[in-house]
Amino acid sequence: MSPKITTELLKQLRQVMKNPRYVQEPVQAYIVPSGDAHQSEYIAPCDCRRAFISGFDGSAGTAIVTEQHAAMWTDGRYFLQAAHQMDSNWTLMKMGLKDTPTQEDWLVSVLPEGSKVGVDPFIIPADQWKRMSKALRSAGHDLVPVKENLINTIWTDCPQRPCKPLITLDLSYTGVSWRDKIVALRSKMAERKVMWFVVTALDEVAWLFNLRGSDVEYNPVFFAYAVIGMNTIRLFIDGDRMMDPAVREHLQLDSTLEPEFKIQVMPYGSILSELQAVGASLSPKEKVWLSDKASYALTEAIPKAYRYLTPYTPICIAKAVKNAAETEGMRRAHIKDAVALCELFNWLEKEVPKGTVTEIVAADKAEEFRSQQKDFVELSFATISSTGPNGAIIHYKPVPETNRTLSVNEIYLLDSGAQYKDGTTDVTRTMHFGTPSAYEKECFTYVLKGHIAVSAAIFPNGTKGHLLDSFARSALWDCGLDYLHGTGHGVGSFLNVHEGPCGISYKTFADEPLEAGMIVSDEPGYYEDGSFGIRIENVVLVIPAETKYNFKNRGSLTFEPLTLVPIQTKMIDVNLLTEKECNWVNEYHQKCREVVGAELERQGRHEALGWLLRETEPLARVQ
Amino acid sequence: MSPKITTELLKQLRQVMKNPRYVQEPVQAYIVPSGDAHQSEYIAPCDCRRAFISGFDGSAGTAIVTEQHAAMWTDGRYFLQAAHQMDSNWTLMKMGLKDTPTQEDWLVSVLPEGSKVGVDPFIIPADQWKRMSKALRSAGHDLVPVKENLINTIWTDCPQRPCKPLITLDLSYTGVSWRDKIVALRSKMAERKVMWFVVTALDEVAWLFNLRGSDVEYNPVFFAYAVIGMNTIRLFIDGDRMMDPAVREHLQLDSTLEPEFKIQVMPYGSILSELQAVGASLSPKEKVWLSDKASYALTEAIPKAYRYLTPYTPICIAKAVKNAAETEGMRRAHIKDAVALCELFNWLEKEVPKGTVTEIVAADKAEEFRSQQKDFVELSFATISSTGPNGAIIHYKPVPETNRTLSVNEIYLLDSGAQYKDGTTDVTRTMHFGTPSAYEKECFTYVLKGHIAVSAAIFPNGTKGHLLDSFARSALWDCGLDYLHGTGHGVGSFLNVHEGPCGISYKTFADEPLEAGMIVSDEPGYYEDGSFGIRIENVVLVIPAETKYNFKNRGSLTFEPLTLVPIQTKMIDVNLLTEKECNWVNEYHQKCREVVGAELERQGRHEALGWLLRETEPLARVQ
């Protein structure tokens, strides 16, 4: 992977930063966040402005370009990748390390007095704008909205915004109709005394209307906004997608409906002016509910006194708690996914010793096996297929320049998942196709202990996920080891593979308490730069736990693994496991045998079934 | 404990809330926070306004009185106590429970439109003012400063503000002179480009000048403020305390000093006008550093553009990391404290069966034994001496009406500590003087497992204490149990027994990372309302840990117990301990024997030594 040469692009950007055609006054710095106008994590090619200007195409990062400097903030998952992809024009700011300045502090340290810092107001979330604007102002600078996106002015071959057909989901997948979702949303609005709710996140629009799209790779969403009033529903969406009879039928666009369920379809680009009109028409006490992560541009459309901002929207919270139809769908999806991975690992076991399987070949093969499963739609993220030192690049994606051949001498890490019409998967397994060293087994076993500590944890109702994060690290910490990423994220139901409002992380973001029905990942790891990477990830469902006592009648919760793929016993140093941990592994493998074994049998995949049975032989501890 | 009758007082308060002599406009609600003008946790009698109006005298709580309602917010430590102490005029708001409204939400729900909510601007911290003011404003109400404290207007026999003599501490106790502390502070100020620093917390003033006082019970502090400029030092303090030759010598008030170390002494009451004068004299870019918890009144004295507010001041952070002199002092103090407790428990073991020892007698006896130790000054907090159901009142203090006799049938919980000139102690032991039930032992052992899990934890440098909190709960959670308080707090060095910026809590306050030299408590518990309370508390020192590996060269930390008092083995169900936990107990008891045993020997306390040796016999697990 050679870095992108950005000297000329930065020169052009610095010119437009002073060009009165684009900026009212010259800006001395320009911020290029990762997101799109919906604050999406995964974005369409037309929105990959930060990757275009810097070369760094990881999922998280913010670029800031000043007259003298170009700097990139990203987190531990991407330190190596960003360092590889960016040329020497760029300074890498490693977030989470003690000496790394915040964007605000850095700007204050490099800018001349009274500087203007520009940013596209549609791309920056309102909460970030507020924080950054305040910090800059207190140092004598100004954050200013630059209406025309400056990257777009120099991006001559910028791709078009996608506008692909929609998928309608019936009740057997969603459990709840879009009308009932609107009713529930309006009742939350009434509780908070707000008159309007603005849906800005793409997955929230998709979930609310029980529609899916494919405008963004890996995330089954489509570019749209919605504005829900107590008696009106406005959907802002482009193209002829609303001409599809299935969609018209699903949304009952041609039916005689009670007026409060009649959907008005409007052009995507009209959201700002429509919202400004709403803002101008408000009577005193009529509040408008927005996510505090909605774009600065849309937030500003509502006069400050009328805004009701929350970190998580009622849709975000409702979406996180899966109903029975969704949970059953997720179970089915994970069984199919396990079938595909049993096939893959059986195949790899035979093929890797031949020396012909590269990371890309393995990733393609994984996709091939998944695509054979019912209701497969697409992958849920770019497959991380990495062997040896590439495994230490936490969100590595193999490309021809880095593509390494799997061998019997190196650890192989596969983090992959798919979108099925009934659910979203995300699983990581770390395998060795030869004989792992004692040190590799030791590290793998610490990671496994952490994985089990979270998965088997019992905790009171109302516990926030971040309180479980240290359980995943304790065994590593005891030996002076750690990993520089969170332990888990929420997972959507045939939706985004990363979703709020819950998660398991040492970062104390304002996560909502875990509730039965929520689905998160459990994925501790250990990475040695230049050597190997280890990660063990299951998607787990929050379920009620039976306990001996029940303090204050609060009830307890625990996790049920939805992912049912063997954890390679060859990599485990059994003597580092406690009896309880050993039993956990054996019971987990027994469940893989029963559930996935039955499906492999049903699908007539006898060779993969043989592999599954071999890989799930019970462990025995030497006492 | 019978509740305070507050009907008449509330009537009077509601009258002055409308009296133009005290308020510009009538206020529909009046907030009575716990704190004093320094946001102290422990306060002088003249500042106990919330206790005066409500009867509830726990250390944390906020009262709000409206025309119709009177409500009290407090946390899990005080639910029972507050319920006992308040009459039916009051509604108890249990903080931390899901359905309890915030103060802001409650106010919005009960106030008529366009209400004014009053508060004393010297008592409310600026950060709370800001949050509350914003929430009220967005609901159409106003938070207004009421200069005259309305409680004071109805509190006819309010005691005088104390003004007691000062103690000077020499280098053998403090390790660093006040001049060197000023130099270090100014260098932090220069780093952040601020010209002034306002010291508002009483323990910060005491620490900075190496002085101690006794204006507030249990906390060796004195009423004062300080304003430190780059070339000036102003100390705001009342009385003739500055006439004491020892203090004059210590502060070099009569010496010829470089002007930047010359201390100007000013009246305590002149802080606001002096600070307003500073505020008026600032040139652009001259910032003034204040804690964001400083009072709203003082914060407002500095124009907004000139304020530099942080959650923790540089003094707070420097004070938390104990130097070698302080650490050695803390060790000495804890050995003396252990001697006193060995004497006490030996005495209780003999006396309790006679049926003559009440909670108050036991508390007094503990103080008596402590006062026999060298450099004893006073207790560090009100002794929690509680038996049977009283043990479940987390911050219980025995009073004649509740005073229970210790018996061989009930668990006894003693949470106590002292101020010695060389250090501050805080220790909880839970004892049974007869035969504990299997259930009591089971609960005690879960609490012990939690205590050990924190104490023996190894974690990377830079870890915040809140990431360790769940370790203390894990064994309890597994059985559906929990406790409704944090696990640990910072401890001062001959200063406040509760201090920031570190701690161990599930509440994700903005704690600073743990560093070697910091001192915190480790005190998980378990409480059954109406039955018993269990808590095991040591004060522990953060120390570097040796680990097998050293990821990213970050280094690791762990804890060394400073408290060296036996943990009653009779209460332990050994078979619930792992081998590692059992070894921890045995090694801990071996250290108690060696270190405290030697001191008991030296002090000729042979009977207590005998008790220590009996109580520290090694545990043996049945395999």
* Position A620 in a domain: no
What is the number of CB-based contacts under 8 A between chain A and chain B? 80
**Do B493 and B576 have their domain in common?**
yes
**Do B462 and B610 have their domain in common?**
yes
Does B501 sit behind a cis peptide bond, omega within 30 degrees of 0 on the bond before it?
Answer: yes
Res B1: pLDDT: 61
- pLDDT over 90 (residue A1): no
**CA distance to A15, A29, B474, per residue, from B482 (Å):** 61, 51, 9
* Position B308 in a domain: yes
**Do B82 and B208 have their domain in common?**
no
Nearest-by-Cβ selection for A479 from B468, B477, B547: B547
Q: Is B114 on the interface with A (CB under 8 A)?
A: no
Which residue reads 């009867």 in tokens?
A: B55
User: Which string of DSSP letters, residue by residue, matches B407-427?
Assistant: -TTSEEEEEE-EEETTEE--E
* Cβ(B424)–Cβ(B528) below 8 Å: no
Domain residue limits at B311? 167-319
Domain boundary among B154, B181, B197: B154
Report H helices in B295-437: 296-301, 314-320, 324-351, 359-371
Q: Rounded to whole angstroms, how far apart are CA atoms A388 and A23?
A: 48
The answer to whether the Cβ–Cβ distance between B477 and A457 falls below 8 Å is: yes
Q: Rounded to whole angstroms, how far apart are CA atoms B497 and B419?
A: 9
Beta bridge partners of B543: B558
Kindly give, in sequence order, each residue whose CB lies less than 8 Å from that of residue B454, ignoring residues fewer than 6 positions away.
B468, B471, B472, B487, B488, B504, B522, B524, B540, B559
* Position B410 in a domain: yes
Q: Predicted confidence band at A243 (pLDDT cuts at 50, 70, 90)?
A: very high
Domain boundary among B290, B319, B348: B319
- Taking contacts as CB-CB distances below 8 angstroms, the residues of chain B near A578 are 578
How distant is the Cα of B556 from the closest Cα of chain A, in angstroms?
A: 6
The full length of chain B comes to 623
Q: Predicted confidence band at B511 (pLDDT cuts at 50, 70, 90)?
A: confident
**Do A448 and A306 have their domain in common?**
no
Mean pLDDT of the region A423-439: 98
How distant is the Cα of B505 from the closest Cα of chain A, in angstroms?
A: 10
Kindly give, in sequence order, each residue whose CB lies less than 8 Å from that of residue A278, ignoring residues fewer than 6 positions away.
A196, A227, A288, A301, A302
Q: Which of B477, B479, B558 has the most A C-beta neighbours within 10 Å, making it the best mutation to test the interface with A? A: B477
Res B623: pLDDT: 58
* Position A470 in a domain: yes
Q: Is A304 on the interface with B (CB under 8 A)?
A: no
The residue in chain B having the minimum alpha-carbon distance to the alpha carbon of residue A471 is B471
* Position A312 in a domain: yes
Q: Predicted confidence band at A508 (pLDDT cuts at 50, 70, 90)?
A: low
Kindly give, in sequence order, each residue whose CB lies less than 8 Å from that of residue B68, ignoring residues fewer than 6 positions away.
B110
Q: Which of A551, A552, A554, A577 has the most B C-beta neighbours within 10 Å, making it the best mutation to test the interface with B? A: A551
The answer to whether the Cβ–Cβ distance between B471 and A470 falls below 8 Å is: yes
**Do A198 and A245 have their domain in common?**
yes
Res B573: pLDDT: 98
Secondary structure, 3-state, A399-416: CCCCCCECCCCCEEEEEE
Nearest-by-Cβ selection for B468 from A470, A480, A481: A470
Q: Rounded to whole angstroms, how far apart are CA atoms B202 and A407?
A: 65
Mean pLDDT of chain B: 96
CATH number, domain at A206? 3.40.350.10
What digits encode the pLDDT tens for the residues B381-409? 999 999 999 999 988 899 999 999 999 99
**CA distance to B366, B388, B616, per residue, from B348 (Å):** 10, 16, 17
Res B508: pLDDT: 66
How distant is the Cα of B18 from the closest Cα of chain A, in angstroms?
A: 27
The answer to whether the Cβ–Cβ distance between B470 and A474 falls below 8 Å is: no
Res B519: pLDDT: 98
Kindly give, in sequence order, each residue whose CB lies less than 8 Å from that of residue A383, ignoring residues fewer than 6 positions away.
A363, A366, A367, A397, A414, A415, A416
Which residue reads 């929690």 in tokens?
A: B384
What digits encode the pLDDT tens for the residues A532-555? 999 999 999 999 999 999 999 999
Q: Rounded to whole angstroms, how far apart are CA atoms B514 and B556?
A: 11
**Do B395 and B476 have their domain in common?**
yes
Q: Is B183 on the interface with A (CB under 8 A)?
A: no
- pLDDT over 80 (residue A352): yes
The answer to whether the Cβ–Cβ distance between A480 and B506 falls below 8 Å is: no
Output the six-digit token pair for A419: 């979108």
Res A471: pLDDT: 98
How distant is the Cα of A389 from the closest Cα of chain B, in angstroms?
A: 16
* Position B241 in a domain: yes
* Position B622 in a domain: no
**Do B269 and B352 have their domain in common?**
no
Domain boundary among A123, A154, A185: A154
Mean pLDDT of chain A: 96
Res A509: pLDDT: 64
What digits encode the pLDDT tens for the residues B217-248? 999 999 999 999 999 999 999 988 999 999 99
The residue in chain A having the minimum alpha-carbon distance to the alpha carbon of residue B544 is A480
The answer to whether the Cβ–Cβ distance between A470 and B474 falls below 8 Å is: no
Q: Is A458 on the interface with B (CB under 8 A)?
A: yes
The answer to whether the Cβ–Cβ distance between B549 and A481 falls below 8 Å is: yes
**Do B492 and B598 have their domain in common?**
yes
**Do A201 and A176 have their domain in common?**
yes
**Do A266 and A355 have their domain in common?**
no
The answer to whether the Cβ–Cβ distance between B506 and A98 falls below 8 Å is: no
Mean pLDDT of the region A267-283: 96
Q: Which of A477, A512, A557 has the most B C-beta neighbours within 10 Å, making it the best mutation to test the interface with B? A: A477
Beta bridge partners of A86: A4
Please state, for a pLDDT cut of 90, what percent of chain A lies above it: 92
Q: Which of A549, A550, A552, A559 has the most B C-beta neighbours within 10 Å, making it the best mutation to test the interface with B? A: A549
Q: Is A462 left (phi over 0), alpha (psi -120 to 50) or beta?
A: left
- pLDDT over 80 (residue B549): yes
* Position A83 in a domain: yes
Q: Is B554 on the interface with A (CB under 8 A)?
A: yes
Q: Predicted confidence band at B264 (pLDDT cuts at 50, 70, 90)?
A: very high
- Taking contacts as CB-CB distances below 8 angstroms, the residues of chain B near A508 are 466, 508
Q: Is B439 on the interface with A (CB under 8 A)?
A: no
- pLDDT over 90 (residue B449): yes
- pLDDT over 70 (residue A25): yes
Q: Predicted confidence band at A2 (pLDDT cuts at 50, 70, 90)?
A: confident
**Do B146 and B234 have their domain in common?**
no
**Do A351 and A445 have their domain in common?**
yes
Mean pLDDT of the region B344-358: 98
Res A582: pLDDT: 97
Please state, for a pLDDT cut of 70, what percent of chain B lies above it: 99
Nearest-by-Cβ selection for A548 from B305, B473, B480: B480
* Cβ(A512)–Cβ(A501) below 8 Å: yes
Structural domain total, chain B: 3
Q: Rounded to whole angstroms, how far apart are CA atoms A371 and A517?
A: 27
**CA distance to A450, A474, B458, B576, per residue, from B546 (Å):** 21, 15, 9, 28
What digits encode the pLDDT tens for the residues A557-606? 999 999 999 999 999 999 999 999 999 999 999 999 999 999 999 999 99
CATH number, domain at B376? 3.90.230.10
What digits encode the pLDDT tens for the residues A454-496? 999 999 999 999 999 999 999 999 999 999 999 999 999 999 9
The answer to whether the Cβ–Cβ distance between A548 and B459 falls below 8 Å is: no
Q: Predicted confidence band at A76 (pLDDT cuts at 50, 70, 90)?
A: confident
Least confident of A122-136, A498-512, B191-205, B595-609: A498-512
Q: Rounded to whole angstroms, how far apart are CA atoms A59 and A41?
A: 6
The answer to whether the Cβ–Cβ distance between B551 and A480 falls below 8 Å is: yes
